[in-house]
């Protein structure tokens, strides 16, 4: 491994409780949108995922937007889905990403195109997320592409993946997570957590399997600002939101403040769970609240690493 480790990797390796967030590229070529989002989060979080055509909606390239994010001093985590590219395009794009100075990578299968606004688009899925992680790990270790040809200059990404603690069947999800880690994933970001009791039970199984010792696990949380926001989130496949939380939002005189209180309560319990090494904060359409959540959760200032 070269000395070109990302700040995110060095923080995890130092034992720091990491805080990451997200920057969603625009549905257009407006670099100012990305710059504004990055500036708002610089110094507030340790790194930002830059999403890859999230929910199958056409947006600015995650690689290009990641470069814009880093120009503002915020480290980026490039998201790469298997949905839109074959193995040639994926490897080609990631060689370019490394050459541009991008060091963190989050591998995803990607939302099916039927979720987006261009439903006649053809998905690709030439390789799945486990195969892609292994493909990149083999390239980093052996300097050889998926086709067996030697690479001239090898990218050495800090590779991450995702996990959904609430998807069924649970054991199959754990098996898949284990495969991703064995393939070479070094950090894991979970789906948004609302049912903390179920998540604690899931983490017990993760610890029993020893997976928390093989990869750094970040717990995902989503900040909702309205009753409609949490109701829409509840309808997302794989989400598990207790009705009591929805009722809290419904009965609140100030849903925004209630949404913040809910996520702060979740974070307090998450920080105490053995095996959790960080927090991934999402606030779709309400990104400006992330600094408030980080401060009120006692997670600021963020550490400086050499």
Sign of CA dihedral 56, 62, 64, 69: positive
Residue ranges and CATH numbers for the domains of the chain are 7-296 (3.20.20.220)
Cα distance between residue 81 and residue 90, in whole Å: 9
Q: What is the pLDDT of residues 230-239, one digit of tens each?
A: 999 988 877 8
Confidence at 306, pLDDT banded by 50, 70, 90: low
Angle between helices 87-99 and 62-71 in degrees, nearest 10: 10
Summarised one tens digit per residue, pLDDT across range 54-103 is 888 899 999 999 999 999 999 999 999 999 999 999 999 999 999 999 99
State the Cα–Cα distance between residues 71 and 196, nearest whole angstrom.
37
CA dihedral 159, 44, 190, 230 (to 10 degrees): -150
Give the burial class of 179: count Cβ atoms within 10 A of its Cβ; 0-12 exposed, 13-18 middle, 19 or more buried. Answer: middle
Adjacent-strand bridge partners of 162: 189
pLDDT at 237: 75
For residue 42, what are the β-bridge partners? Answer: 45
Provide the strand spans (E) within 198-275. 216-222
> Would you say 186 and 106 are in contact if contact means Cβ atoms under 8 Å apart?
no
pTM, two decimals, is 0.95
pLDDT at 1: 46
Measured between alpha carbons, how far is 256 from 242 in angstroms, rounded to an integer?
A: 18
Torsional sign, CA 6, 9, 12, 18? positive
**pLDDT classification of 111: cutoffs 50, 70, 90:** confident
Burial class (CB in 10 A: 0-12, 13-18, 19+), 72: middle
Containing 47, the helix (H) or strand (E) segment is: strand 47-50
């Amino acid at each position: 491994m070269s000395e070109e480790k990302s700040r995110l990797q060095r923080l995890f390796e130092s034992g720091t409780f990491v805080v990451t967030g997200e920057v969603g590229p625009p549905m257009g070529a407006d670099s100012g949108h990305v710059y504004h989002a990055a500036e708002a989060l610089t110094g507030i979080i340790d790194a930002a995922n830059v999403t890859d055509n999230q929910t199958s909606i056409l947006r600015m390239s995650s690689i290009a937007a990641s470069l814009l994010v880093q120009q503002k001093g915020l480290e980026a985590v490039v998201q790469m889905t298997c949905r839109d590219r074959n193995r040639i395009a994926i490897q080609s794009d990631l060689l370019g990403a490394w050459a541009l100075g991008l060091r963190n990578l989050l591998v995803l299968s990607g939302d099916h195109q039927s979720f987006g606004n261009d439903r006649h688009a053809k998905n690709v899925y030439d390789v799945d997320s486990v195969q892609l992680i292994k493909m990149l790990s083999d390239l980093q270790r052996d300097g050889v592409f998926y086709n067996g040809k030697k690479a001239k200059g090898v990218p050495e990404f800090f590779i991450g993946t995702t996990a959904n603690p609430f998807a069924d069947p649970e054991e199959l999800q754990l098996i898949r997570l284990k495969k991703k880690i064995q393939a070479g994933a070094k950090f894991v970001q979970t789906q948004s957590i609302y049912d903390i009791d179920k998540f604690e039970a899931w983490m017990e199984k993760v610890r029993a399997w020893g997976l928390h010792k093989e990869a750094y696990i970040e717990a995902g949380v989503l900040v909702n600002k309205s009753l409609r926001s949490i109701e829409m989130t509840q309808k997302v496949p794989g989400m598990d939101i207790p009705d009591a939380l929805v009722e809290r939002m419904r009965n609140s005189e100030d849903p925004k403040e209630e949404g913040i209180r809910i996520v702060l309560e979740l974070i307090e319990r998450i920080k105490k769970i053995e095996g959790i090494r960080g927090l991934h904060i999402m606030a779709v359409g309400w990104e400006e609240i992330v600094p408030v959540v980080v401060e009120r959760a006692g997670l600021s200032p963020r550490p400086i690493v050499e």
